[in-house]
């Protein structure tokens, strides 16, 4: 059985306060994008006690870390604890770049939970799947329902948002730049906004650039000017809204349906995705 985990972008990201546990509260809107990995599971033909419980095979883009630390393996083991699943082989083809603020690993994990639920008829509801997903990462649960969502808390408290960008075009660019989470938070000054992002998103899209911001840009752009330059270039080429996604390093631009997407010249290490938004 195969599925195709998709990416997300952040429409705005405000860091509202630092918590006593060291984490930060935030508000953001997760929006699904049809940039996809491929995830397949197969049962072992002749399982026996000598076969590994789960074998992970990764192709496509490079993924750091050991297989045991991969979120798809953790998702399998999480359900295996409760349902004693058979040994399986997992094939993961990576097309969503890692460390880009696009939620690729989280999407893979959530998709693994849904895949196992369907394949083995576990009869888990979306609420139950979200509860499992939340144990794997703060934003993993978003990918269970995979619809535009307002997130707060540490990115784990969700509420629906009435928003559709269907038909708009997206140009997403990730330069060969790594932004660590610690680096992104290094100059953040939490501040509770006077107007919630849930209200700002109701403004006309061509006004978003004046009101909807990603707080991480203030700390990331001075340290990595290339990322900020990409955002500027998107606006110069007709984007109606452009922003860094998450804590970086990818930047996206939204374009009207009738606007030809620009062609940029990048080096071979720069990732570029063009597509339509479908929700």
Residue 42 above 60 pLDDT? yes
- More reliable by pLDDT, 179 or 56: 56
**182-231 confidence digits (pLDDT tens):** 777 777 888 888 899 999 999 999 999 999 999 999 989 999 999 999 99
**47-100 confidence digits (pLDDT tens):** 565 567 899 999 999 888 888 899 999 999 999 999 999 999 999 999 999 989
At residue 193, the pLDDT reads 85
At residue 140, the pLDDT reads 96
- More reliable by pLDDT, 38 or 46: 38
Same fold, 2-160 and 169-276: no
Cβ atoms 75, 69 nearer than 8 A:
no
- Total-model pTM: 0.93
CATH code of the domain occupying 169-276: 3.30.70.890
* Of 91, 79, 87, 85, the residue nearest 46 (C-alpha): 87
139 included as an active-site residue: yes
**The domain 2-160 is classified under which CATH number: 3.40.50.10680, 3.40.50.2300, 3.40.50.10880, 3.30.230.10?**
3.30.230.10
Cβ atoms 42, 7 nearer than 8 A:
no
End-to-end CA distance of the chain: 25
At residue 49, the pLDDT reads 57
Cis amide bond preceding 249, omega within 30:
yes
* Domain residue ranges of the chain, discontinuous segments joined by +: 2-160, 169-276
53 included as an active-site residue: no
* Cα separation, 129 vs 117, whole angstroms: 9
In the chain, which ranges are continuous DSSP H helix?
A: 71-83, 104-119, 126-134, 142-145, 181-185, 197-200, 208-211, 217-223, 225-236
Cα 196-200-203 angle, rounded to 5 deg? 165
Cα 67-122-140 angle, rounded to 5 deg? 45
Cα atoms in the Cβ-side hemisphere of radius 13 Å centred on 254: 23
**234-263 confidence digits (pLDDT tens):** 999 999 999 999 988 899 999 999 888 988
Rg (CA), the chain: 19
Cβ atoms 28, 124 nearer than 8 A:
no
At residue 99, the pLDDT reads 86
Cα–Cα distances in angstroms (integers) from residue 248 to residues 32, 91, 126, 178, 251, in the given order: 16, 27, 29, 8, 7
Residue 19, phi-psi category: left (phi > 0), alpha (psi -120 to 50), beta (remainder): beta
**131-169 confidence digits (pLDDT tens):** 999 999 989 999 999 999 999 998 889 999 999 999 999
Of residues 8, 94, 114, 231, which has the active-site annotation? 8
* Residue at token pair 């984490």: 23
At residue 192, the pLDDT reads 86
* Of 32, 52, 33, the residue nearest 44 (C-alpha): 52
Element (H, E) at 254: strand 251-255
Of residues 94, 108, 114, 139, which has the active-site annotation? 139
At residue 47, the pLDDT reads 59
At residue 155, the pLDDT reads 87
């Amino acid at each position: 059985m195969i599925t195709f985990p998709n990416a997300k972008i952040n429409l705005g990201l405000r860091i509202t306060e630092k918590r006593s546990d060291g984490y930060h509260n935030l508000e953001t809107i997760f929006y699904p994008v049809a940039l996809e990995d491929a995830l397949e599971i197969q049962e072992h033909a002749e399982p026996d006690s000598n076969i590994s419980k789960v074998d992970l095979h990764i192709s496509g883009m490079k993924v750091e870390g050991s297989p045991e630390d991969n979120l798809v393996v953790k998702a399998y083991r999480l359900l295996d604890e409760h349902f004693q699943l058979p040994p399986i082989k997992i094939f993961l083809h990576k097309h969503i770049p890692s460390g880009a603020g696009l939620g690729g690993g989280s999407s893979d994990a959530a998709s693994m939970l849904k895949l196992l639920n369907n394949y083995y008829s576990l009869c888990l509801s979306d609420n139950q799947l979200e509860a499992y997903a939340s144990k794997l990462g703060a934003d993993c649960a978003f990918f269970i329902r995979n619809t535009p969502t307002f997130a707060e808390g540490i990115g784990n408290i969700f509420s629906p948002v009435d928003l559709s960008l269907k038909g708009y075009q997206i140009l997403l660019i990730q330069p060969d730049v790594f932004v660590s989470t610690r680096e992104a938070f290094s100059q953040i000054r939490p501040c509770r906004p006077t107007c919630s992002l849930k209200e700002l998103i109701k403004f006309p899209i061509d006004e978003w650039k004046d009101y909807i911001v990603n707080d991480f840009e203030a700390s990331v752009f001075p340290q990595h000017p290339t990322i900020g330059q990409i955002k500027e270039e998107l606006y110069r080429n007709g984007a109606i809204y452009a922003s860094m996604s998450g804590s970086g390093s990818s930047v996206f631009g939204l374009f009207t349906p009738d606007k030809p997407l620009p062609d940029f010249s990048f080096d071979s290490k720069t990732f570029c995705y063009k597509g339509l938004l479908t929700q």
